[in-house]
Chain A
């Protein structure tokens, strides 16, 4: 089959690789209908995440059609049109049974690579380096999906492929970030980042009853999409964000702040210069401008919900959180806990994830898609790939 392979830093090529096969009894093989780029892929492509290996097939956000099933698969069948969360979860362990699916205790084929880094291994994930399991990704014609009964969700009629695609990751990650905020009547939620996850977090915060959602970014087309979703927007290159948030909240500050930016945050001023130099020297992996700003902006006793992907960051002002009594919630997405609800919100038109699909490419043209996505050319929010 054809697949998009990582060959080294910023070296992506579409190659012919072996087709995946059923390896375990609860596996299925999916014929990929659509897959999409994720901001976290850029960390892999840029070489900021170790344990990538030449030939790794990228892509962890996808949907498709089941074409082969293992002998112990009972809930889904050949021909089903399904969406699959990016973390592989067994549904049987303590973590899965407590809706903490990305922390699954049984799906990491190489736990010894991750235990020294994190203390305990997480769930495996498609195409996210070998420290996260070394599973092949979905920018390909076919992909193997383990634990299909837990991880494949049939897409109902009335939900398009493009809408379902983003319910694999961007939408559940965003929903989880809003869910972490425990939104109460009258709450104001500020969201740093108007990429796929940030926009979904904004829409989900509205679904969960936020009084007002404030979206922060620098790209006009992304801010325009946030505004179209109903958010108040702030361009952080034009205003003092912390002051603007105070102004918009009567001096209280947002009840919760969601960081949907992560380790490659843009920023301004000296702090940004400091972070860029340290990152370039591999002294830290993360530039944390958005997170630091969110920590400062959140109201006393408020919630900081971290969705951005981080590795190692210094100059982390922990005292800001401690002295203000801030609750921090964070995780990689526990998608399986949210997908059914999100498919229903989408079917009813309350959630519109298809709006993220700004650019479409064939799989063969996917390296160009990543280039556009990385550089945000032509307002590219998400590049969507189709193998056909």
Chain B
């Protein structure tokens, strides 16, 4: 890891990219461990609805196609598998399919099937929030970019950092769960041409 890389890691760590510290601690390979910080992200939100309702909403295929739009086009292939197509910054396109394991009541897991351009795995856990605050959702996504842990960083691959990918998906999911809609200014943001709307 170069000095510049270390600095970047520290900055990201300071801004919340410390989600994988526990996983890193278990690793034998320092280089891979540090890179892992670029490849995984965790975010949490609390939503004032019961677990069962949120779990059911998450599992609806249309939900997946709506909450990941900042990152990928998600198309349901059947109830539990979906195709993801993510755009890279220079016109590159990355495809993979995921399968969801919903065998646990308070946890959903998904992993990519074979031949994924960017292998990844996600875990969403549901926990009751204290008082009348509803349910806590904890989302953890890890990417395994091509070339292994020392290959291209996810943020370069997709032009979006992993933390932003999961945070924005959870934010949209909360909006959808509470209001039935996802906030948007596209295609009419304040600025002209729409192109300024990230």
| Count of CB-CB pairs between chains A and B under 8 Å | 102
User: Which of B31-39, B104-112, B143-151, B168-176 makes up part of the contact surface?
Assistant: B168-176
Partner of B168, one of A56, A112, A124: A112
Which residues from A are CB-within-8-Å of B181? 24-26
Q: Which residue of B lies closest to A132 (CB)?
A: B190
Size band of the B side of the interface? 20 to 34
Q: A136–B168 contact, CB under 8 A?
A: no
Roughly how many angstroms separate A25 CA and B134 CA in the complex, as a whole number? 25
14 A-B contacts (beta carbon < 8 Å): A55-B196, A72-B180, A90-B179, A92-B178, A105-B174, A106-B174, A109-B186, A111-B168, A112-B168, A116-B15, A130-B196, A134-B189, A136-B189, A146-B183
Whether A109 pairs with B184 at a CB distance below 8 angstroms is yes
Which residues of the other chain, A, contact B168 by a CB distance below 8 angstroms?
A: 111-112
Contacts of B174 in A (CB 8 A): 93, 105-106
A72–B181 CA distance with the chains assembled, in angstroms: 11
**B48, B134, B189, B196: most-surrounded residue (chain A CB, <10 A):** B189
Closest to B175 in A: A106
Interface assignment of A53: CB less than 8 Å from any CB of chain B = yes
Q: Which of A26, A113, A115, A134 is B185 in contact with, Cβ under 8 Å?
A: A134
**Proximity bits, A47-64, B CB within 8 Å = 1, else 0:** 000000111110000000
A55-B190, A92-B179 given; A24·B184 CB < 8 A: yes
Give A369 to B70 CA distance when docked, in angstroms.
39
Least Cβ–Cβ distance between A20 and chain B, in angstroms? 6
- For A57, A72, A113, A134, the residue with the greatest tally of chain B CB atoms inside 10 Å of its CB is A134
A contacts with B: majority SS: loop
| Cα-based distance from A318 to B15 in the complex (angstroms) | 25
- Which B residues are CB-close (under 8 A) to A109? 183-186
Please provide the chain A residues from 330 to 382 with a CB less than 8 Å away from any CB of chain B in the complex.
none
Verify A108–B189 contact, CB threshold 8 A: no
Contact indicator A136/B190 (Cβ below 8 Å)? yes
* A107: Cβ under 8 A from any B Cβ: yes
| B197 close to chain A: CB less than 8 A | yes
Q: How far is the CA of A124 from the CA of B183 in the complex (A)?
A: 9
Are A144 and B188 in contact (CB-based, < 8 A)? yes
Return the chain A residue nearest B170 by Cβ.
A111
Would B192 and A54 count as touching, CB distance under 8 A? yes
Q: Is A261 part of the contact surface with B, judged by Cβ < 8 Å?
A: no
Interface centre among B46, B174, B186, B192 (most CB of A within 10 A): B192
Does the CB pair A23–B190 fall under 8 Å?
A: no
A137 contacts which of B16, B171, B190, B197 (Cβ < 8 Å)? B190
Does any Cβ of B come within 8 Å of A244's Cβ?
no
- Which B residues between 152 and 170 are near A, CB-CB below 8 angstroms? 164, 167-168
Q: Are A121 and B171 in contact (CB under 8 A)?
A: yes
A21 contacts partner chain B, Cβ-Cβ < 8 Å = yes
B185 touches A94 (CB 8 A): no
Query: Given the complex of chains A and B, what is the CA–CA distance between A220 and B2 in angstroms?
Result: 62
- Report whether A26 and B189 are in contact in the complex, using a CB–CB cutoff of 8 Å: no
Known contacts A55-B191, A115-B167; is-contact A105 B184 (Cβ 8 Å): no
Distance in angstroms from B17 CB to nearest chain A CB is 11
> In the complex, what's the smallest C-beta–C-beta distance from B94 to chain A, in angstroms?
20
Cβ of B80 within 8 Å of any chain A Cβ, yes or no, is no
With both chains docked as a complex, state the minimum distance between the C-beta of A144 and any C-beta of chain B, in angstroms.
Answer: 7
Q: Could you say which of A24, A56, A93, A109 has the most chain B C-beta atoms within 10 Å of its C-beta?
A: A109
The verdict on B133 contacting chain A, using a C-beta distance below 8 Å, is: yes
- Taking A54-B196, A93-B48 as given, write out 14 further A-B residue pairs in contact, using a Cβ cutoff of 8 Å, ordered by the A residue number: A5-B192, A17-B192, A21-B188, A23-B186, A23-B188, A26-B181, A93-B174, A93-B178, A93-B179, A127-B190, A130-B190, A130-B191, A133-B183, A134-B190
